[in-house]
């Protein structure tokens, strides 16, 4: 396949892997976090981890939009979905995430009208087509998906569509990274920054990681050669004692990002004082809410939601997985009580979740196999 095979060449991969081997600083163990769940998925799907040199470990980060939504927000979504006359729309993965009283799919089997959409614009279209019903869109995701929600809101306002509202759970990537770097229990040497988020925000917002924390960052694409090359760029920085923000994904990411997308977010949304993250707790100024001008389209202001903070299932270690403290296969319920068919935590639900990636693709790795029932 043109424009894809070029980034998956086994020959180039072997060449890069041997360069990486030679670039490794002698006698040092390196821990590099791939922030984004899309990268985690690609790493296991293509077996990139098997090409890494000894002493280099990849640590999975919090960049999985479904994974970071806490139980309380899922409960709020279920309560909105059960409101009379509501059509509740969401991305597919989110339907299976268990809340304290079941998932959105369970709500559907109890009679709620929950539908999967591919884009918030599809939800707006449903609002136009069903003027007698109330449409709510469950908005989740980092700066990657926030612009499409923003554009949808602007369109709803311009067309004065009043039976449409957004349950906004958009988050920003910077604050959780700072929280992880501040945590004393994890020592990271460098970060692979997410490509799609960076297409919107640019590479500049990661500067603090280099300047304040002295850690190198490389913004990476999602093809396997992108990821391997990014690891090499990080290792070279570390070997040379540099800590800079570099951009490997130049075919998509600009230093200043996408100004029009940022403008749309800015017009419609503002930072909340604080937002609760699964596993990371409440982080100041890390989540987005709708601006007052859009109060009429804000589901949290139009409906009563419980708004409670609800602890994770007792056995679930998603929080530690999201912070890179526990490997998926080290979780007590991984592959036994928690599987993709019957997930307990979000990391096993989402295709981008680290647990789902290990479970689906990585079970042949010797360290992990003994944990799983055949």
Partner 1 sequence: MSEQAPRRKPRLRDERITLGHGAGGKATHTLVEALFLEELGNPLLDPLGDSALIDAGGTKLAFTTDAHVVQPLFFPGGDIGSLAVNGTVNDIAVSGARPLVLSAAFVLEEGLPVSDLRRIVASMAEAAREAGVVVAAGDTKVVERGRGDGLTVTTAAIGLVDERVSLGAEKVRPGDKVIVSGTLGDHGMAVMIARGNLELEVEIESDSASIFPLCEALFALGADLRWLRDPTRGGLATTLNELTEASGLCVVLDEKALPVREQVAAACEILGIDPLYVANEGKLIAIVAADRADEALASLRTHPLGAGACIAGVVEAEPESLVLLQTAFGGSRVVDMLVGDPLPRIC
Q: Give the residues lining the site for partner 1 (CB under 8 A).
A: 1, 4, 8-10, 13-14, 17, 44-51, 105, 109, 224-225, 340-342, 351, 359-364, 369, 373-374
> What distance in Å separates the CA atoms of residue 130 and residue 326, rounded to the nearest whole number?
46
Around Cβ 142, how many Cβ atoms within 10 Å?
25
Around Cβ 365, how many Cβ atoms within 10 Å?
14
What is the smallest separation between the CB atom of 352 and partner 1, expressed in angstroms? 11
> What distance in Å separates the CA atoms of residue 271 and residue 284, rounded to the nearest whole number?
9
> What distance in Å separates the CA atoms of residue 270 and residue 265, rounded to the nearest whole number?
8
Residue at token pair 């988050």: 171
Report the residue number, 199 or 288, with the smaller CB distance to partner 1: 199
Nearest to 36 by CA among 66, 58, 57, 62: 62
Report the residue number, 5 or 185, with the smaller CB distance to partner 1: 5
What is the smallest separation between the CB atom of 351 and partner 1, expressed in angstroms? 8
What is the smallest separation between the CB atom of 227 and partner 1, expressed in angstroms? 10
> What distance in Å separates the CA atoms of residue 327 and residue 368, rounded to the nearest whole number?
10
Residue at token pair 């599809």: 122
Report the residue number, 143 or 223, with the smaller CB distance to partner 1: 223
Report the residue number, 13 or 66, with the smaller CB distance to partner 1: 13
What is the smallest separation between the CB atom of 242 and partner 1, expressed in angstroms? 28
Report the residue number, 1 or 160, with the smaller CB distance to partner 1: 1
Cβ atoms of 177 and 197 within 8 Å: the answer is no
Around Cβ 213, how many Cβ atoms within 10 Å?
15
What is the smallest separation between the CB atom of 45 and partner 1, expressed in angstroms? 6
Report the residue number, 26 or 374, with the smaller CB distance to partner 1: 374
DSSP state of 11: H
CA 127 and chain centroid, separation? 27
**What is the number of residues in the chain?**
374
What is the smallest separation between the CB atom of 366 and partner 1, expressed in angstroms? 9
Question: What are the counts of helices (DSSP H) followed by strands (DSSP E) for the chain?
Answer: 15, 13
Q: What is the CA radius of gyration of the chain?
A: 21
What is the smallest separation between the CB atom of 96 and partner 1, expressed in angstroms? 8
Report the residue number, 2 or 187, with the smaller CB distance to partner 1: 2
What is the smallest separation between the CB atom of 255 and partner 1, expressed in angstroms? 29
Report the residue number, 51 or 81, with the smaller CB distance to partner 1: 51
> What distance in Å separates the CA atoms of residue 289 and residue 64, rounded to the nearest whole number?
19
The set of residues, in sequence order, having a beta carbon less than 8 Å from that of 152 and lying 6+ positions away, is 120, 121, 123, 124, 137, 166
What is the smallest separation between the CB atom of 109 and partner 1, expressed in angstroms? 6
Report the residue number, 20 or 290, with the smaller CB distance to partner 1: 20
What is the smallest separation between the CB atom of 3 and partner 1, expressed in angstroms? 10
From residue 15, how far is each of 12, 29, 167, 225, 308 by CA, in Å?
Answer: 5, 22, 47, 11, 52
Report the residue number, 41 or 73, with the smaller CB distance to partner 1: 41
């Amino acid at each position: 396949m043109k424009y894809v095979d070029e980034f998956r060449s086994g020959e180039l991969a072997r060449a890069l892997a041997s360069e990486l081997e030679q670039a490794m600083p002698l006698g040092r163990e390196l821990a590099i976090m791939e922030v984004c769940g899309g990268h985690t998925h690609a790493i296991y799907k293509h077996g990139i981890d098997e090409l890494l040199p000894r002493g280099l470990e990849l640590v999975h980060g919090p960049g999985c939009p479904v994974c970071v939504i806490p139980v309380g927000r899922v409960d709020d979504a279920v309560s909105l979905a059960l409101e009379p006359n509501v059509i509740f729309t969401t991305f597919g993965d989110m339907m299976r995430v268990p809340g304290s009283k079941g998932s959105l799919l369970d709500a559907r089997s109890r009679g709620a009208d929950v539908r999967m959409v591919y884009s918030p614009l599809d939800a707006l279209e449903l609002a136009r087509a069903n003027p007698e019903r109330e449409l709510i869109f469950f908005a989740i995701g980092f700066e990657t998906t926030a612009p499409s929600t923003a554009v949808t809101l602007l369109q709803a306002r311009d067309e004065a569509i009043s039976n449409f509202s957004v349950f906004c759970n958009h988050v920003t990537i910077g604050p959780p990274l700072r929280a992880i770097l501040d945590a004393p229990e994890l020592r990271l040497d460098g970060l692979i920054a997410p490509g799609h988020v960076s297409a919107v925000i640019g590479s500049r917002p990661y500067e603090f990681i280099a300047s304040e924390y002295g850690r190198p960052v490389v913004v990476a694409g999602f093809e396997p050669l992108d990821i391997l090359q990014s690891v090499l760029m990080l290792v070279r920085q570390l070997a040379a004692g540099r800590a800079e923000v570099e951009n490997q994904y130049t075919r998509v990411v600009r230093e200043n990002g996408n100004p029009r997308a940022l403008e749309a977010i800015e017009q419609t949304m503002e930072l909340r004082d604080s937002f609760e993250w699964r596993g990371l707790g409440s982080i100041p100024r890390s989540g987005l809410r709708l601006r007052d001008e859009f109060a009429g389209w804000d589901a949290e202001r139009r409906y009563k939601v419980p708004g409670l903070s609800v602890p994770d299932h007792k056995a679930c270690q998603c929080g530690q997985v999201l912070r890179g403290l526990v490997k998926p296969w080290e979780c007590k319920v991984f592959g036994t009580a928690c599987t993709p068919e019957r997930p307990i935590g979000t990391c096993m639900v989402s295709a981008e979740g680290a647990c789902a990636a290990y479970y689906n693709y990585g079970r042949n790795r010797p360290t992990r196999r003994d944990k799983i029932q055949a």
